[in-house]
Chains A and B, each alone.
Chain A
Amino acid sequence: MKVAVLKGGRSLERGVSLRSGARVEDALERLGHEVLPLEAEGDLVKRLAAGEPDVAFVALHGPGGEDGTAQELLEILGIPFTGPGVAACARCIDKVLAKHELRSAGVPTPDWFAFNETAFRELGAADALGDLEERLGFPLVVKPSRGGSALGVRFAENWFDVPEALVSAFSYDSRVLLERFVNGRELAVSVLGGEPLPVVEAIPRAGDSYDFEARYEIGRTAFVCPAELSGDETATVTEAALGAYEALGCSGFSRVDLILGPDGPQVLEVNAIPGLTDTSLLPQAAEAAGMSFEQLVEKILELALAPARA
């Protein structure tokens, strides 16, 4: 089969995407497929049309690749592709939109407020921030609405940290959310074709939180898979993760990030196209389920070509 691997792009996660893509290409070659590596650049459509692949493996992360843009093009060109469809990608990439969907579907997610930059610039939204303490409490987490990684995510310990945290978050997106901080265990559930894989727990080594750098560097964060959870805990975590996957209309595969706090699991976000690098969580979860990376890639391709896409 001829498989186009879409990677790179202009998002800040370009480097991660290139690593994911290279690894996928290797696996595809080992599986005996013909690989067409494609960087997401100005001539992508032309090269896709000229290459006539049977299927496209989307290894793009962040805005531009994980937000439905590339998927839309693939639909127009009539090329089947891996991972969730256009609508699911668009919902997942936008944390604010995703949280609304989750809440409507009854999936637990921490309380939040969302603001557009214009609200502050033109509508005096700063005056509304006074209610934060009462409604969300401190510490709280400030993050850009779009962006798949931890870039621009800041903790505000108190009122005085908020403006600076907002300036940081607004550097990445014109919409940010302020979210109630939930103290608990950091878990990730990868879902493959509607089936949950074993739960991964991220345990920061340096004592501080799971940051962008730790995410992609061996040794900075310890990952435990399967996470040491009781049967009940595993059940509620998995239920929440599957609920999120369905609420956002994901298909193929995705990764749901949660916090297991004192009041049970809370879904933080869903990554439509999770990383596939050496240190990424989806491949680890698959490995814990007894799947090699090649088997994982083959399964993802099968799901992309299955007749009934959700």
Chain B
Amino acid sequence: MPIRNTIRMPDPPQRRRAHASRSDLERYAGLFAERTRVMRSSAMRDLMAVTARPDVISLAGGLPDTSTFPPKAFAAQMTRIAQESAAEALQYGPTEGFRETVDCIVEVMGAEGMLPDPEDVIVTTGGQQAIDLLCKTLVDPGDAVICEAPTYPGAIPVFCSYEAETIQIECDGAGMKIDQLEDTLERLDIEGRRPKFIYSVPTFQNPAGVTMSLQRRQRLVELARARELLVVEDNPYGLLRFGGDPLPPLYQLDGGDFVVYIGTFSKILSPGIRLGWAVAPPPVMEKVVLGKQAADLCTSTLTQYFVREYFAEGRWREYIESLIGIYRGRRDAMVAALDRYFPPQATWTEPDGGLFIWATLPPYIDTSDLLAKALREDVAFVPGQAAYVDGRGRNSMRLNFSAGTEDEIREGIRRIGKVIDEQVELYGALTGERPAAPSASKSQPADGENVVPFRKTGEAGG
């Protein structure tokens, strides 16, 4: 290679060229790791591309409302950082995160009755990275991972990318069915296998909106202890409670021996700052830190400084209270709209907190197809299939109530109700059955899918 002794300005950058040919692609394909075969993008990718149109009322996202965060306070906090600690805030930080960030985390967890050892905490780039790092630490290809059915749709691609065998345990209105979990563990035992962890969102679950009962929480924790299994408790929404009494997190019940905890600032402050955390026993944490080092060295220093400033003002709980007020109104608006616009055969959950409602329709309605129809009415939701690894959930949907205004929610639900009505009526015309009784069994033979008896709130009859 010729040595240049003058610095030549490079040519103006060219936009990267698209792949020239299919054979180029196949050349890349030959380089792909085995795991990319199971790294699947969402089945509804192209449908979802349409939901991004500005004229669509989207009940599909999971966005918290960041519109009421006071801009003046934000400006003041960032200004203080710039004036007082610019050099540090622009520098790398420790892999585990700053001690000051961890102090904020301990304060947040304390608000839900937990008292973690700061040494057990690692600051991550969002809660999502915590899921990734735990899989990286614990999962070999083919290992069993247990989660709820339905489960957080964003966890599935992580489990898949580590080639886990994902086993889903049904939920009802009281969360994961622990009896079914025990049966599954027995079965795995007989096969000589042990799941690497049991992933659960016990409080205001994404997507179902259900909360695990105290009794099941206790059983789950006892089970984990007796069998020496890890439970991964993902708790992004615990502080967003609009009604009912708080339940102790699994981490609190267990004391942190067999429960690994994942938290995040996304839903109580901002998802844009990408700050989450994991709490794990020291031997697990040691490996997680190594994984984090390899992944991105450290979490954003700048946003950790922001959180420090924000918490120093001492008004973070007030802000959560204001969010709770907003979300409660939106949940109420959505539930009222569901009552009014969804047909009697539909059921849905009525969460006491969080961001989501899960609605289940008659078994002959496929919500992916329904989405296509709904998009023509300029409204979107997440088809239930996205929350399962095995194609179940076809007649369910996830509805978000945190992102839109109450008017948008009412209008969105009205439009979805309209397209459901059309399908119910059409099915009636096709089968000669009048859509009368709320039922889970029409002429369609029951195949065991989605017979999840979530709390029924739609009015029966008709």
Q: Which residues of A contact B (CB under 8 A)?
A: 10, 12-16, 18, 22-23, 26-27, 30, 117, 120-121, 124, 126, 129, 151-152, 160, 162-164, 166-168, 170-172, 212-213, 216-219, 278-279, 283-284, 287, 292-293
Contact = CB atoms under 8 A, between A and B. Distances in A.
A220 to B, nearest CB: 9
B7 interface: no
A138 to B, nearest CB: 16
B25 A278 contact: yes
Contacts of B375: 12
A27 B373 CA distance: 35
Q: Closest 7 CB pairs between A and B?
A: A15-B49, A171-B369, A163-B430, A15-B46, A26-B18, A171-B373, A168-B369
Contacts of A172: 369, 372-373
Interface in B406-427: 423, 425-427
Nearest to A172: B372
B263 to A, nearest CB: 34
Interface string B422-436: 010111011110000
A278 B427 contact: no
Q: Size class of B's contact patch? A: 35 or more
Contacts of B23: 287
B46 A13 contact: yes
Given A23-B18, A278-B22, A167 B429 contact: no
B17 interface: yes
Nearest to A42: B55
Nearest to A166: B430
A160 B444 contact: yes
B364 A164 contact: yes
Contacts of B432: 126
B50 A219 contact: no
A219 B33 CA distance: 12
Nearest to B44: A213
A12 B18 contact: no
Given A23-B18, A278-B25, A293-B21, A167 B443 contact: no
Nearest to B363: A164
B429 A279 contact: no
A107 B200 CA distance: 57
B29 A163 contact: no
Given A126-B429, A160-B443, A160-B444, A171 B21 contact: no
B284 to A, nearest CB: 34
B25 A14 contact: no
Contact of A163 (B19, B20, B431): B431
A120 B432 CA distance: 10
Contacts of A217: 40-41
Given A12-B47, A171-B373, 17 more contacts: A12-B46, A12-B50, A15-B49, A22-B18, A23-B19, A121-B429, A124-B429, A163-B430, A167-B369, A172-B372, A213-B45, A216-B46, A278-B18, A278-B19, A278-B25, A283-B22, A292-B20
9 contacts: A14-B50, A15-B49, A15-B50, A163-B427, A167-B364, A171-B372, A172-B373, A218-B29, A219-B32
Contacts, number: 107
Interface string B1-41: 00000000000000101111111010001001000110011
A62 to B, nearest CB: 10
B314 interface: no
Contacts of A15: 45-46, 49-50
Give the interface centre of A168, A219, A279, A292 by most chain B CB atoms within 10 Å.
A168
Contacts of B49: 14-15, 18
Contacts of B317: none
B221 to A, nearest CB: 39
Contacts of B45: 15, 213
A203 B201 CA distance: 40
Contacts of B370: 171
A126 B29 contact: no
Nearest to A212: B46
A151 B372 contact: yes
A250 B102 CA distance: 66
Contact of A279 (B22, B425, B444): B22
A22 B18 CA distance: 8
A13 B50 CA distance: 9
Contacts of B445: 160
Contacts of A14: 46, 49-50
Contact of B43 (A126, A213, A293): A213
Interface in B343-370: 364-366, 369-370
B53 interface: yes
A164 B370 CA distance: 12
B46 A120 contact: no
A271 to B, nearest CB: 16
Given A12-B375, A120-B430, A163 B369 contact: no
Contact of B430 (A23, A167, A218, A284): A167
Nearest to B444: A164
Nearest to B25: A278
A120 B47 contact: no
A306 B20 CA distance: 26
Contact of B46 (A16, A121, A279): A16
Contact of A166 (B40, B50, B426, B444): B426
B439 to A, nearest CB: 15
B50 A168 contact: no
Contacts of B364: 163-164, 167
Nearest to B56: A10
A167 B395 CA distance: 13
Contacts of A126: 429-432
A225 to B, nearest CB: 9
Contacts of A171: 366, 369-370, 372-373, 423
Contact of A167 (B18, B40, B423): B423
A155 to B, nearest CB: 13
A279 B40 CA distance: 16
Nearest to B430: A163
Given A160-B443, A219-B29, A219-B37, A167 B426 contact: yes
B53 to A, nearest CB: 7
A212 B427 CA distance: 25
Nearest to A121: B429
A163 B430 CA distance: 6
